[in-house]
Amino acid sequence: MTNPETPRHVEIRDEDEHVVAEAEVTTACGPEGTVRASMHAKSEHVRRGDRTGLVDAVMDLPEVQASERVEAAIPYGDSESLDRLRQRTNDPHTRVAGATTLLDANIPSGAEPPGQRQPGDELVADWPASGQPPVGE
């Protein structure tokens, strides 16, 4: 498991290796704390399922699974990400802040099955926000 205080960068790429969706993920208080995630697609013309794959990749991170709460920021109108976040969390509450939708929710304690990614979607970066792989990997 990585250091929960280190921000993580997660990317989803298409079959042509273009980044189609990405997220920055931090854990506020270590395990059993609150995870903060900022997620967005790189363009409005991403394939159906790309945003769902990103939510699943974030929710499947070990530090997210070890946490109790999630605070997620997604672009206003991104119903695919919002719907998937609601499916993967308990007691979600949303509010709009400008061009962003904020979701606060509880993370189920291991009761949910791992996320389902679409064929061709690949989690290609699960590194610290510096963009460099952790030392020793």
User: pLDDT tens for residues 102-117?
Assistant: 999 999 986 444 444 4
Domain that holds residue 30: 8-125
Does some domain include residue 131?
A: no
Does some domain include residue 29?
A: yes
Q: How far apart are CA 88 and CA 134, in angstroms?
A: 27
Q: How confident is the model at residue 119 (pLDDT cuts 50, 70, 90)?
A: very low
Q: How far apart are CA 131 and CA 94, in angstroms?
A: 30
Residue closest to 20 by CA, chosen among 137, 95, 122, 106: 122
- Provide the pLDDT for residue 71: 96
CA 87 to chain centroid: 13
Q: How far apart are CA 122 and CA 3, in angstroms?
A: 23
Domains contained in the chain, number: 1
Does some domain include residue 132?
A: no
Residue type, 5: E
Angstrom CA distances, 87 to 17, 31, 92, stand at: 28, 22, 9
The pTM assigned to this predicted structure is: 0.75
Bridge partners (DSSP) listed for residue 11: 22, 125
- Provide the pLDDT for residue 79: 94
- Provide the pLDDT for residue 14: 85
Does some domain include residue 120?
A: yes
Does some domain include residue 17?
A: yes
CATH number, residue 38: 3.40.630.30
Higher pLDDT, 47 or 81: 81
Does some domain include residue 2?
A: no
Does some domain include residue 137?
A: no
Residue type, 81: S
Angstrom CA distances, 134 to 39, 73, 104, stand at: 21, 25, 29
**Contact in structure between 61 and 24 (CB atoms under 8 Å):** no
- Provide the pLDDT for residue 103: 97
Percent of the chain with pLDDT over 70: 71
Does some domain include residue 95?
A: yes
